[in-house]
Every structure is written in structure tokens, then in C-alpha cells.
Amino acid sequence: MVAAQRLPTALLALATVVDVSLGSSLRRLTERASLASSASSTAPSSVPSALSQLNATVGGRLKAAVPFESPCFSTVEGEATVVDSAACAAIQSGYTDPTFRVTHFGAYMLPQWETCQSSATTEGCLLDSSNRTNTDAIDGVNCQLGNVPPYYIEVASYTDVQAALAFSNSTGVRLSVKNKGHDYKGRSSGKNTLNLWMTGLQSISHDASFVPEGCTGVTYDAITTGAGVETQDVYEFADSVSRTVIGGYHETIGFSGGYLLGGGHSILTPVYGLAVDRVVQIKVVTPDGEYRTANECQNEDLFFALRGGGGSAFGVVIESTHRTEPVFPIQAAVLSFTASNSTDLAAWYSLLIDNSYQWANDGWGGHIVGASLIHVTPLLSTEEAQASMQPAVDFVTARSGSVTIEEHASWLSFFKKYVTSAQAAVGPELELGTRLIPSTFFSTSEGRTQLSALINETLSFASPYIVAGTPWLFNATAGATAVTPAWRDAIWHLSIKWQFLYNDTLDERKEGYETLEGHIQDFRDLTPGSGAYFNEGDVYEPDHETSYWGDNYAKLLAVKQKYDPNGLLDCWQCVGWKGEDDDLYQCHIKL
């Protein structure tokens, strides 16, 4: 554990074994238990002994959290300590590397969620992501855990989750769940919570004739993964058995974690559907402590909720099984140019809007970031792909840009060549607001004009980041999944981002959220009745129940009340959440 020896003594108590005198962190847990005592059968004073018992139950895998960046600081949790130069250099080097961050519990891909943003002092432990050796971020700063859970269980099996749920139920100490830390809304952190770190569940297998438990007469060629398996590992495994799976655009996303639960888009989604369209079985520990199997033949209501209901509201996923496709060739279009001015960029977005309806029908999915485009399609030949993309090729060529249209033998080949260098950044404090843009804004002249005009107005603030990753051509079964039906008629998933700085004040952070909210509201106003992506929506999404789930929300709430009548599991803007005034969200800024 990085820098474990540098933590104050009181916070080291759980590094190897739980002790009954755990210092300030344990007192905070006890205080939380006091707040929840009305729902608890155990007095808060018994929390230390309950923690000791919990540690024994989970085989000593209850750990004390360490501020990720703490080796660089001379003051940690108010106590003087010696800077560990070698460990600090490693952290500075790997600060924006997802494969480095993912191995540290205290590191989140968007590090504002490591901090208590609502505090005047932020209560964090951040480096300057734009200049990681900047001593202004370090000197004289008290490095604190902030919003990072003080204790976590390295989950090795479903029984660990059952033990944590029983502990929470008896003590009132709240739970949080973290997989890889790809979290835009602070749902996997939580000040003074006990966290379940799922990253260790690394099983993966292939079954060409998989039968969901309890079913007869139905088989799938499927891959089953533990909750902690990373997306690139799934791609590589699938390719090794001559199969393709549909997943995210990042190497370290947890394939069976929050990505799946929120819906899970892919640039192959236009043809092959969302992740929730492809999952055929999920094994989950529900809040009542039961380890359940959910599929089309048993616990069907839970299966529906887990297919896009979002977050850890319905339980903690242990593994999931996804149907596959054969390995197939794909065409890739990779275009970029240097925009000479804002008019040039506005013309580029207008051209994209004019052509995206046809591109969607041609099976193209991909990403648009400013003056660049990366798209793929499994439906066209190289010659057909060239003809389909010709308007964009001509535009880019006229500006002396770069154009590549080429065939790849497999999805993995494309992924390794392009995605790891183009995937979403980690380390900077990024915030997104998103909107699903319906097909009418691409298929009609009026719609195209309206969308182009709004994007043109937005360019002075930011270039929208576009994901062509909606299930446009996929023949989904109506009502099978919980995601908003707006996904099925959208061509683009549009997002706008804001970046915070390590030393922003509380007022500056609040202003950033409000500014972003205002810009994404313009797109909500343009698209009434549409929705947003649960995993990447605005932190302060208004009417989030409708935005994320549409008419499915009432059914989802009923499922939540069935399996979690006491609200043991909760997360920000999840189904049945207790609201922003709940103490669980004390580190979220209240706008």
C-alpha cells in the first residue's frame, strides 16, 4: 500500500488488523452511526468491536484508506510526516495514467471526488494535474482523505459483501461501492463510509453454449466476468477465443461494474446495442443480504432494474454474463485538422450534423472531439466507407488535415491502435453535462438548423464532445431494459465539459458547476422529452428520474422498495435516493 507507513498512527490501525482504538477516523464512523441510530439495533459505541469482528469475517481484508498523493506532503491529516521522494515521484509520473491510478484505492479517475468539495478548504490531497511537480499544490497544505472512505474491504467473494451489509445494517455505518473509480458524480466515494472495493474480482470465462440459470431452451455464446475485470482485458480474452464483446472506450473501465449498471454505450452500440442489451445474467448481493441470480427466467424484475437502473441502488454486482459476436472486420475513419478560427469549427460541426443521419444508417459509431473524428463501422467495405465519409474527407483535406480510412481485422486491433491514446483523460478534475440528441435534429432541415445554431453559440465556451454511441440500428426488445427509451431514437450523445483547478475555491467550484449547468440546459430546452446518460450526466441533472429512466422510473422505484425497503444502499441521484441533504452527500456542493 503506497505510503502506508507515513500515515498518522491513529489512521494506521486497520493496515493489518483492526484495533479497538482507531482514532479520529473511527470516531467519525461512530458519529455517523449515531446519526443513523434510529435504524440500528446496535449502539454506536459498539462500532469498534463490530469492525474487529468484520475484519475477522472477511479474512483480514478490511483496510485503512491512504490519501493517494500523501507521499508528496509533509503534513497528512494534521500531523507532520516525512516526504517520501521516491513514492512521490512515482505518483507524479503516473498521476494521469489510468493503469497506475486503478491500482490505488484512494485514487479516483476524476480526483475532485477524492476531496470534500463543499468544504472551504476542499479537504483534499491533490497535485496540479497540469504541472505535477508544482510545489504550490503541496507546500503548506494539510493532505486529507476528504471524501475518500476511511475504510474499505478488498472484496474477494460475495460473502464479503454480505458481511458488509450486515455490519451496515447493525451499526448504521453507511456503505459505498468502488470498482475502478471512473465516476463523474461521486457515487463511489463517500466521507466516513465503509467501502466495498470490487476490483479484485478478476474471474473470466467463455461458454459457447451458456444457459442462464433456471432457463431451458435458450443458449448464448457468452463471456462471464467478475465485477473487477478491466475492459481491455475482456477484449483481449474475447479475441483469444475468436469472439467480440461490446464494451467501453477505455482500457480500465470495470466491465461488469457501474458501466454496465448505467447502460454502457460503445462505438459499436449503433449496430450491436448497449451493454444492457447484451447482458444475459447478473449475479448480485441484494441489500437484504441474499446472493441472487437475475436473468430472463428468475428474478426478472431485478434483472430489468440492473439493466440500466444505475449505481449500487439494487445491490452489489459480483459477476455478469454477456453474449458475444464473432470476430469481424471493421472500417475505421480517423480524421483531424487544425481549425483556423471558430467559424471553421462551426462549419465542421454543421457538416457532421448534416451527415450523421446517413452515417448512423451506415452503422458508424465513434467520437467527435473538436476538429477530430474517430468512427468505426462493421457494415461497410473499405470502398463503401470511403464513399460514406467523403464529405468529411473533403472538408478535412481542404484544410490540409489528416485522413485515414482503413480496415481492421478485429475490434481489438482497432482498440489497441487508437483507443488508448484517445480515451477520456484521467487526473484532471473534469465535470460533464450530457444530452441525448434525437434523430429529428439530423433527419430534418429544421432540426439540423436548430442544432447547428446552438452548437455555434456554445463554441465560445467549449467544443461539444460527441459520442455516436446510441443503439440506432439495434433491434431491442421493448421494455427489457431500464434505460430511458430516449436512447433508442437518439443519434448523438452530446456532452460539454468543465475543468476545475486543484486550488479552486469553494465559490469558484460552485460557479463552475452552475456555468456548465447553464450550457447543458440550453440543450435540454432544445430537446424536450429526451434524456441523458446516467453514467455521464450532469451532477445536478434536474428531474433526473425522467432524464435517466423516462417512464421506467415508477417500475424501478417499486423494485428498489422490494429489495431494499430500508434504503440500506444509496447513491447520488440513484433510484430512490434520499436526496442531497442526506449526510452521505456532505461533500457535494449544494447549488
pLDDT in tens, 205-223: 999 999 999 999 999 999 9
Name the band, by pLDDT with cuts 50, 70 and 90, for residue 20.
very low
Helix (H) or strand (E) holding 92: helix 85-94
pLDDT in tens, 307-339: 999 999 999 999 999 999 999 999 999 999 999
Quick one: which of 304, 306, 355 has its CA closest to 333?
355
Average pLDDT over residues 462-474: 97
Quick one: which of 229, 66, 35, 54 has its CA closest to 146?
66
Average pLDDT over residues 107-132: 95
> What is the spatial distance between Cα 72 and Cα 359, in angstroms, rounded to a whole number?
49
Percent residues over pLDDT 70 in the chain: 92
pLDDT for residue 35: 40
Quick one: which of 326, 160, 183 has its CA closest to 253?
183
Any idea what DSSP says for residue 566?
A: T
pLDDT of residue 36 exceeding 50:
no
Q: Are 372 and 336 in contact (CB under 8 A)?
A: yes
Name the band, by pLDDT with cuts 50, 70 and 90, for residue 11.
very low
Contacts of 373 (CB under 8 A, 6+ apart): 333, 334, 335, 336, 352, 366, 367, 392
pLDDT in tens, 293-303: 999 999 999 99
Q: Are 530 and 486 in contact (CB under 8 A)?
A: yes
Average pLDDT over residues 475-490: 97
Statement: the pTM of the whole predicted model exceeds 0.95: no
Q: What angle is formed at CA 493 by the lines to CA 345 and CA 454, rounded to 5 degrees?
A: 45
pLDDT in tens, 234-290: 999 999 999 999 999 999 999 999 999 999 999 999 999 999 999 999 999 999 999
pLDDT for residue 198: 98
pLDDT of residue 12 exceeding 60:
no
Strands 194-197 and 151-154: parallel
pLDDT for residue 43: 47
Alpha helices in 202-340 (DSSP H): 231-240, 258-262, 269-272, 275-278, 300-306
Average pLDDT over residues 364-373: 97
pLDDT for residue 45: 52
pLDDT for residue 421: 84
pLDDT of residue 19 exceeding 80:
no
Provide φ and ψ at 493, rounded to 5°.
Answer: -110, 105
pLDDT for residue 46: 64
pLDDT of residue 530 exceeding 70:
yes
Name the band, by pLDDT with cuts 50, 70 and 90, for residue 37.
very low
pLDDT of residue 6 exceeding 50:
no
What does pLDDT average to over the chain? Answer: 92
Average pLDDT over residues 43-72: 88
pLDDT of residue 509 exceeding 70:
yes
Domains of the chain: 4-197 (no CATH), 204-327 (3.30.465.10), 330-550 (3.40.462.20)
